[in-house]
Structure 1
Amino acid sequence: MATTSTETGVAARAAGAMETRGIEPVPAAERAGRPGQLFWVWFAANISILGLPLGATLVAVQGLTVWQAVLVAAVGSVGSFAIVGAVSIAGRRGGAPGLTLSRAVFGARGNIGPTAVSLISRLGWETVNTTTAAFALLSLATILFGTSPTAKQHPVLTVVCIVVFELCTVAVSGLGHAVLVAVQRWATWVFGALNLLVGGFLVATISWSSVAAAHPAPVGAMIAGVGVIAAGTGIGWANASADIARYQAPSVRAGSLVLSAAAGAGIPLVLLISLGSMLAAGDPSLAAAGDPVAAIRAMLPGWMAVPYLLAAFGGLLLSNHLSVYSAGLTTLTLGIRVRRVYAVVLDVVVTFVGSIYFILVADGFYTPFIAFISLLAVPITAWVGVFTCDMLRRRTYDPDALMDTGRSSGYWYRGGVRPSAVVAWAVAIVVGYLFTTAGPSDGAWFTGPLADTWFGHNGLGWVVTFVIAAGGYAALGGTRVGSAAAARR
């Protein structure tokens, strides 16, 4: 995963300039990225404390033992990010963002649906990041100024905390790819070290007797846990993976891209999710904490509060950098005609409003968070199924056709829609939701009519979705190579 001194020098020089390119494909001559860069990008994006409540959910909600949770964390996070790495191969091939490349699969107009879902996903995750980071800053204010950590008692201070986080996000995401790659790499060392320090003290609070006394859950519960972790980690990033890989050199091996994503994200996620499961073995309340930042801080000695809160803030910021950068590109793909940097600002404004709602209006935070990732995992997985199936035959993308959304586009197909892709995607979503339960079992937001079947009970609705999407696309002729008429199916 190492980079050469030449590559480092190029990145350093590029980091001083704002990226002016929007969603248009990057010329092959300007693509010099290496997989090692992506390793650090994915590592940085996954060292946030959100992994701790995910791990706590495995023990407190799924009923797993710690050792089962560690295995589930490894399979769910590494496996789902291997899929992320596989989708990023398209970015190396076409040099464009993932949802822009998706026009070649779904058609210039048919791609609107998947793009809108992707944008909602990115905005949702950014709202989660911003909300959690605001909690961290509120706790820091409690230490420095003696204010109450309860957000609703200090609405003005809460808004200030949100603004600070959003400004730090725009400062990197707005400048673009080169700055993002450089910051993610070096900030990983700083905030990664802080996370290791905090993690060491959290380990000292683990109730090992509770860990040892737990009884193993059935295999079905582990399978369901894999679904929870996959939906909460890699699946949510799959439609953004090509956005950062579009600067990879054409000579980069596909396997290296898969490995960089699986290892880069898998290492921090397995550690954090495992730690969260260990903490929940002695204190299950962590899984349902309205303010997870404060709940974890309460487990630490007082003098560790500041390093912990800085680590929490930094990890969430690194995740948000990548998410906002991708959301800006997705906004442009949706057809909003602004410069990339303004698209970033527009997305940040939306998440600002959402964060105010979750902190100052809503009564809970992580219950809607789990329901949110469960609902969006289905249409995103359907897109992944169709898109990856298409990648089996497609090695190149027409750069002019990708940017032409009119009738003259080579990807216009039938009225701007490619029926084989859109139909397979839509059918897979409907079928997937039949097996899906979103939210806690005692008050689910949505329960599909087949949620009590073996697939539904074990959280495998997303697997069914993938199979239906990929299989349906192939059955409708989506992977055939041949005549133009075949390509229009």
Structure 2
Amino acid sequence: MSATELAGTAPAEANRIGAIETRGIEPVPADERTGGPRQLFWVWFAANISILGLPLGATLVALRGMNIWQALLVAALGSFGSFALVGLISVAGKWGGAPSMTLSRAVFGPRGNHGPTVVSWLSRVGWETVNTTTAAYALLALISIIFGVGANSVLTVISLLVFVALTLVVSGLGHATLVWIQQWATYLFGALNILVGAFLITKVNWDAVAHAPAAPVSVVVAGIGVIAAGTGIGWANAGADMARYQHRHVPGRRIVAAASVGAGVPLFLLIGLGGLLSAGDGSLASASDPVSAIQVMLPSWMAVPYLLAAFGGLLLSNNLSVYSAGLTMITLGVRARRVVAVGLDIVLTLAGGIYFMLIAGDFYGPFITFISLLAVPITAWVAVFLADMLFRRHYDPRGLMDTGATSVYWYRGGFRWSAVLPWVAGIVVGLLFTTASTSATDVWFSGPLADSWMGSNGLGWVVAFVVAGGLYLLFGATTARRLGGTSSPDPTTRPGARTDGEPAAVRP
């Protein structure tokens, strides 16, 4: 059975609230693209109201020494800016009607795309594990408050199962249900977050906030990179997954704004609050369990709404992540329908949560390590993909689904080396500036240039972006000159090319 057949025909009526979305990764036909930017706004808003923004803000103040004004500037530029990149990739979803990593086949070739897709899938599973673990901590705390039962191995597993089961229901049903849930659940959990946030502000040491000295400009620049890597960069490879249902006539700028503002507003508020709470008290920045670290700041009567808000925010984030991971798994070649791929992803996430909670001795350390390491290959992919969008406005539907030698995107042996090589080069150079460690004594990886300013400030992923994007543009310019002046890297837009799924007459 071919990948196209496994993807299903997905009639339009199946993409409705409460019905299982039968569409896999095949491009959405134009007459089924009825979405608008408002949908994307709520999807990204909901995915970013989790409490994981608080320790990020705490890190800026407690560990990097910024004052609150610098932390707020960093929060704004890092969150709004990084999700603007997510919005740009979402525009490609509107153009091609397919998930991000499926569209990536046109850029890297069906075989060359395997590397970026594996990295994307690992990123999604990692974020899901972080969400699941943190939510389970919140549920265990709720059980302790309401029933007076302390945490144990059995309750831990039950808490994990409850969270992944709720995720499976929403992500398994698919796009229409996910969009509806993300909007209406945001009202509920957003209100709880506002309530808890208003109380937490009363716990701020305002004297410490007012007298905190400013950090050097170099620290602020590095902080922007930290926030971007911990927020939008992690979501970049999912940008087109929801935007593939956007109407073809929606202006691209509105899609970019929906992602940037939708995610930026809650992130700015949460990161800013985390910075305020850490003025004079750095315990939140170094907490192994951020849920408990915040809970101790609250009276018992406020703990329940706080824990509900924490659990709900993480669930909304996980819904989108698991949905995206299922599509990415199919793009990798897993011969399963979308809902089955989602189920497989949930099982792996559950295993990761059990490891974090019952085996690993630290939570926050591996979280930061995970972000810093995977940010390099993800950002290199983002750079190549965005650079490719400068020359492309079309993705051939049959070419995207055909992973054999007859595909218009087969290029040379299934690889588009002018994209694959810049991606690999970006990773290699970026890792030279990267350190991945959970502590000073537990170093997973350290590049030879990790002690440089870029390296010590966690900006190896920025180096990867510049190198990968720059090399791709250089290769593209060279190819254009060789082909007689055309700058388009898409073979379906060149003279003599076929757009019906047959091989192109000219391949770069």
Q: Is the 8 A contact 1:223 1:459 kept in 2?
A: no
2:8 aligns to what?
A: none
2 CA distance for matches of 1:53 and 1:120? 23
Q: Does the CA-based 8 Å contact 2:125-2:345 persist in structure 1?
A: yes
Cα distance in 2 for partners of 1:474, 1:12 equals 41
Which residue number corresponds to residue 3 of structure 1? none
Report how far residue 216 of structure 1 moved. Answer: 1.1
CA distance in 2, matches of 1:431, 1:37: 38
Instruction: Give the letter aligned to residue 293 of structure 1.
Output: V
Deviation at 1:301, TM superposition (A): 1.3
User: Aligned partners of 1:411 and 1:103: how far apart in 2?
Assistant: 7
Counterpart residue identity of residue 77, structure 1: S
CA distance in 2, matches of 1:349, 1:157: 18
Residue of structure 1 equivalent to 2:347: 349
Partner amino acid, structure 2, of 1:461: G
For 2:253 and 2:306, how far apart are their aligned partners in 1? 36
What residue in structure 2 maps to residue 85 of structure 1?
87
1:285 aligned partner: 283
What secondary structure, in the 3-state scheme, does the structure 2 residue paired with 1:24 have? coil
2:66 alignment counterpart: 64
TM-score, normalized by length of structure 2?
0.91
Partner of residue 469, structure 2: 470
3-state secondary structure, aligned to 1:476: helix
Contact 1:12–1:182 (Cα < 8 Å) also in 2:
no
Q: Does 1:119 align with 2:121?
A: yes
Deviation of residue 486 (structure 1)?
A: 10
Give the superposition deviation at 1:61.
Answer: 1.6
- Contact 2:14/2:21 (<8 A) preserved: no
For residue 283 of structure 1, what is the amino acid of its counterpart? D
Q: For 2:419, which of 421, 424, 435 is the aligned residue?
A: 421
Moved over 6 A (4+): 10-13, 483-487
TM-score (norm 1): 0.95
| Aligned residue among 37, 55, 73 for 1:53 | 55
* Residues in 2 aligned to 1:148 and 1:55: alpha-carbon distance in whole angstroms: 30
Indicate the RMSD between aligned Cα atoms, in angstroms.
Answer: 1.7
C-alpha separation between the residues in 1 aligned to 2:358 and 2:157?
9
Check the 8 A contact 1:11/1:178 in 2, yes or no.
Answer: no
| Displacement of 1:461 | 1.9
| CA distance in 2: counterparts of 1:386 and 1:13, whole angstroms | 32
In 2, the alpha carbon distance for the partners of 1:169 and 1:458 equals 35
Q: Is the 8 A contact 2:365 2:439 kept in 1?
A: no
Q: Show the counterpart of 1:446.
A: 445
Q: From 43, 63, 68, give the equivalent of 2:45.
A: 43
Q: How many residues end up aligned between the 2 structures?
A: 476
1:16 Cα offset (Å): 2.7
Residue 315 of structure 2: aligned partner? 317
Question: Which amino acid counterpart does residue 123 of structure 1 have in structure 2?
Answer: V
Quick check: 1:173–1:321 contact (8 Å CA) kept in 2?
A: yes
- AA aligned to 1:115 is T
**Percent of aligned positions with the same letter in both sequences?**
66
Please state how far the C-alpha of 1:192 moved relative to its aligned partner.
0.2
Deviations 1:52-109 (A, max 9, x none): 0111111122121122111101110000000100111100000000000000000010
Taking the aligned partners of 1:127 and 1:311, their CA distance within structure 2 comes to 19
* Deviation by residue 1:391-433 (Cα, 9 ceiling, x = unmatched): 1111011100100111111111111000000001000000011
- Aligned AA for 1:456? G
Maintained 8 Å contact 1:84/1:261 = yes
Contact 1:418 1:488 in 2 (8 A): no
Q: Distance in 1 between matches of 2:316 and 2:291?
A: 17
Whether the 8 Å CA contact 2:14–2:20 is kept in 1: the answer is no
* Alpha carbons 1:378, 1:432 under 8 Å: kept: yes
5+ residue gaps, structure 1, are 1-9
Q: Helix, strand or coil for the counterpart of 1:450? A: coil
C-alpha displacement of 1:13: 8.8
Secondary structure (helix, strand or coil) at the match of 1:250 reads coil
CA contact (8 A) 1:137 1:161 kept: yes
Segments of structure 2 that go 5 or more residues without pairing to the other structure are 1-11, 481-486, 489-493, 498-503
Q: SS of 2:173's equivalent?
A: coil
**Structure 1 range deviating more: 475-484 or 419-428:** 475-484
Deviation, 1:293, is: 0.7
Verify: 1:16 aligned to 2:18, yes or no. Answer: yes
Partner of 1:27: 29
Q: CA deviation at 1:169?
A: 0.2
Question: What secondary structure is seen at the aligned counterpart in 2 of 1:386?
Answer: helix
Note the C-alpha offset of 1:18.
1.4
